[in-house]
A and B are shown apart, each in its own frame.
Chain A
Amino acid sequence: METALLKEEVPQPILVLRGITKYFGGVHALEDVDFEVYPQEIVALVGDNGAGKSTLVKIIAGVHQPTRGQIFFLNRPVEIRSPHDAQALGIEIVYQELALIETRDVPANFFLGREPVKGRLGIFVDRKKMVDDTVRTLKELGIVLPSLRTLVRYLSGGQRQALAIGRVMPWGGKIIIMDEPTAALGVKESRRVLDLILRLKEKGCSVIVISHNMRHVFNVADRIVVLRGGRKVGDKRKTETTPDEIVKLIVGAEML
């Protein structure tokens, strides 16, 4: 007689970081950090200044290479040696500083570093495609700009933020990292960004959000990971913890 065993479906993480250590000369930015990202989840990465959050996400984004440790993507070991490697895997990042080129216009910033090319030689930029794709994406996101030819230096802070977030959308990223997306924004604009993060999850992406704002974190996150002094000190599902407990982990219970 054969019995069909019903296995409970255990979700596999898309991204696994094991034992990630990063030294910048004598500075120990990260020490033996394990970090996972599951499909369609929003992970908040929190911690005080200097805890290593930015370093960790920059390693995921290919800007830094870990001194020690391994990275697995969809169960395969990978090396993310450059931002292009990360993008090829489907990892996109929106930096806190926005990383826009003020002297260039909107389409140029939209496709920064990955301008579409045309022609046999592959050296000529396909400007028409750049403009068309930019228009389409901005429309989809409901972002209004006076003119595509506007240089970024003439855009307001909110418009720049929208541009910085908008430009990672068209690339079909599986993991989107946002470093302090609401830090410089007012209430209404923060709400828009948080809604966008939720929408990304609906569409099937995972989002890693670095934030200092406990209210925003508890508003959107499924899981909260706490770093302190370069080490992971907490990894809790939102439903199993409270803001107070998270704050305690951030500053270290000894301080309170």
Chain B
Amino acid sequence: MESKREEEFLRYTEPGLLRRFARNQLAALILILVGMVVVLSLLTRTFLTANNIFNVLRAFSWIAIASFGQSVVIIGGGIDLSAGSNMAFSGIVTAMLLVAGYNVVFSVLMGLLVTLGIGFCNGLMVSKAKLPPFIATLGTMSIIRGFCYGMTQGWPVRSLPRSFMSLGQTDVGIFIWQVPLPAIFMVVFAVLCYILLDKTKLGYHTYAVGGNEYAAALAGINTGRVKNVAFTLSGLLAGMGGLLMTARLGVAAPTAAQGYELDIIAAAVIGGISLTGGEGSVWGALIGAAIMQILRNALVLLGFPAYWQPAAIGAVIIGAVMIDMYRKRKV
């Protein structure tokens, strides 16, 4: 989409198409994804079945949605360790309201509202109290997990109404396929977050604050407000992911999503979002979540011993970041 003026301004030869493709982060990721799919389709008979693909899609959609919010935070220069606890908490709040007889819409809205509020508090701690995001969200992570246990006395909340569970379990007919509803939500949120980051002034400012906070402040950008919005959004989207997860599982457990924040952050990092801030895109996070889930799926289908799976995943995360660093070196 370069304007004609851009093209006439090129005094040096623009690097060839292939090299630009290789340099492009998203292109490289898509290549890896496609590679994995091809290899697995050849190695197993069950990978490329509609059933398996949609199971994979459904499974990573919750992590992906939460990772979009996490991406905005990381691009803005922060990090949100409370994402997993928020995922569990939104499920618990909504479930408890549903069991107490409130209608689905109200319960869902409340569940989202509390995690939005938690995100907002994270934002306040970082922007007003100047707490390092790692510390602020580490504290929130524990506090909210405590609420999960405290409010339920440790018991999972069951007997959720059908209407709620349909959020996580319905399939929508698109052409010849039955696409899981959570996957559709995932794409919708990806598009919304992409538009926010790439096309709006707030998005530009988010990249600026993450890239060089001092320079952004000198340019008159309200860095506190930018960070606040990022953390609030992360809370909201973690809550959204948690709700879909709860709806799918049919039960809200205080132990749910334990440790998920690491998966969420890993999805963003594999997707090329630099932990130092200022670069990356939500599509990368989506592909990162997909890669991780397909990897898990692959390990299962290939009969990899279950206990060793985290080791394989960890190796992939390290490998992905090293490849990305190599790609970004100053050439």
Binding site for B on A (CB under 8 A): 62-63, 82-84, 87, 95, 97, 99-104, 108, 112-115, 117, 123-125, 127-128, 131-132, 135-136, 138-139, 144-149, 153-154
Q: Which residue of B lies closest to A138 (CB)?
A: B9
Q: How far is the CA of A181 from the CA of B23 in the complex (A)?
A: 33
Residues of chain A within 8 A of B5, CB atoms compared: 131-132, 135-136
Within 8 A of A (CB), among B57-94: none
Q: Which residue of B lies closest to A84 (CB)?
A: B220
Flag the segment in B147-155, B195-203, B246-254 that touches A: B195-203
A117 touches B201 (CB 8 A): yes
Binding site for A on B (CB under 8 A): 2-3, 5-6, 9-12, 14, 199-205, 207-208, 210-212, 214-216, 218-221, 274, 277-279, 330-331
Q: Which residue of A lies closest to B220 (CB)?
A: A83
Q: How far is the CA of A139 from the CA of B11 in the complex (A)?
A: 12
Q: How far is the CA of A99 from the CA of B213 in the complex (A)?
A: 9
Q: How far is the CA of A65 from the CA of B236 in the complex (A)?
A: 37
Q: How far in angstroms is the closest Cβ of chain A from B23?
A: 10
A104 touches B207 (CB 8 A): yes
A103 touches B9 (CB 8 A): no
Residues of chain A within 8 A of B215, CB atoms compared: 97, 99-101, 112
B278 touches A99 (CB 8 A): no
Given A131-B6, A132-B5, A149-B2, A101 contacting B12 (CB threshold 8 A) = no
Chain A binding surface SS class: loop
A102 touches B220 (CB 8 A): no
B208 touches A112 (CB 8 A): yes
Residues of chain A within 8 A of B12, CB atoms compared: 146-147
A147 touches B14 (CB 8 A): yes
Residues of chain B within 8 A of A82, CB atoms compared: 220
B220 touches A146 (CB 8 A): no
List, sorted by A's number, 15 A–B pairs whose CB atoms are closer than 8 Å.
Answer: A83-B219, A95-B218, A100-B215, A101-B211, A108-B204, A112-B216, A113-B216, A113-B219, A123-B202, A124-B200, A124-B201, A125-B204, A127-B199, A132-B5, A144-B11
Q: How far is the CA of A99 from the CA of B10 in the complex (A)?
A: 25
Q: Which residue of A lies closest to B199 (CB)?
A: A124
Partner of B9, one of A62, A112, A113, A135: A135
A125 touches B199 (CB 8 A): yes
Partner of A99, one of B2, B200, B203, B219: B219
Q: How far is the CA of A144 from the CA of B200 in the complex (A)?
A: 28
A139 touches B199 (CB 8 A): no
Partner of B278, one of A103, A115, A149: A103
A101 touches B216 (CB 8 A): yes
Residues of chain A within 8 A of B216, CB atoms compared: 101, 112-113
Q: How far in angstroms is the closest Cβ of chain B from A138?
A: 8
B6 touches A104 (CB 8 A): no
Q: How far in angstroms is the closest Cβ of chain A from B204?
A: 5
Q: How far is the CA of A123 from the CA of B196 in the complex (A)?
A: 9
